[in-house]
Amino acid sequence: MNFNLARSIEILERTPVVLQTLLKDLHEDWTMNNEGPETFSPYDVIGHLIHGEKTDWRDRTMMILEHGVSKTFVPYDRFAQFEESQDKLLELLLKEFEELRKANLNWLRSLNLTETDFDKKGIHPSLGQVTLRQLLSTWVVHDLTHIAQVSRVMAKQYKQEMGPWVEYFRIMNF
């Protein structure tokens, strides 16, 4: 499948609602547990997505369009949410993510990007040269893989309770 802005926005605009549907009103046993040390709970993932809306995708898109390869992206802090979301209710975080995403997609649409823009380049602090097409594709993949992660983390909370069935679920050892 080739990159396509409209099809990317199809995913990006539904992610906040998907996560609300998946997590709203769930018991904390599902939302606050993780996969072990240094891993994210579903709650942590929402904070991480909020941080991405504030500091990553939009800023890097602007950086590519305005500065090209003459400036390097600011490194992304994958653990910022542990400070930023402190004590906020999951419901509030889900709402905050929805609002930030809506604003960012309105902004993205307003750019009226062309195929030439998608080929423009920027400099990632570790990966080197990347294109806007790659950045926007990664934004979509980042959403989908975090939805997958949230579902997997919740599934793992029942790993001990499944008995012998666990061997049929390769994903439980991921």
* Shortest separation between residue 119's beta carbon and a second copy, angstroms: 12
Q: Cβ closer to a second copy: 37 or 86?
A: 37
- Using CB under 8 A, list all residues that contact a second copy: 1-3, 7, 10-11, 14, 17-18, 21-22, 25-27, 29-30, 33, 124, 127-128, 130-131, 133-135, 137-138, 140-142, 144-145, 147-149, 151-152, 154-155, 157-159, 161-165, 167, 169, 171-172, 174
Q: Are 153 and 41 in contact (CB under 8 A)?
A: yes
Residue 76: closest CA among 56, 98, 59:
56
**Short-list 167, 58, 143, 67, CA closest to 105:** 58
Choose between 38 and 161: whose C-beta lies nearer to a second copy. Answer: 161
Minimum distance from residue 82 beta carbon to a second copy (Å): 19
Shortest separation between residue 172's beta carbon and a second copy, angstroms: 7
Which tokens go with 109? 């649409």
CA–CA dist 100, 54 (Å, integer): 7
| Nearer to a second copy (CB atom), residue 38 or residue 86 | 38
CB of 168 to a second copy, least distance (A): 8
- Tokens matching residue 152: 């997997």
Comparing CB distances to a second copy, the nearer of 79 and 86 is: 79
Which is nearer to a second copy, 7 or 109 (by Cβ)? 7
Instruction: Tell me the CA distances in angstroms from 145 to 75, 139, 165, one per residue in order.
Output: 20, 10, 25
Residues 6+ apart with CB under 8 A from 154: 30, 31, 42
Q: How far is the CB of 112 from a second copy (least distance, A)?
A: 20
d(CA 148, CA 30): 14
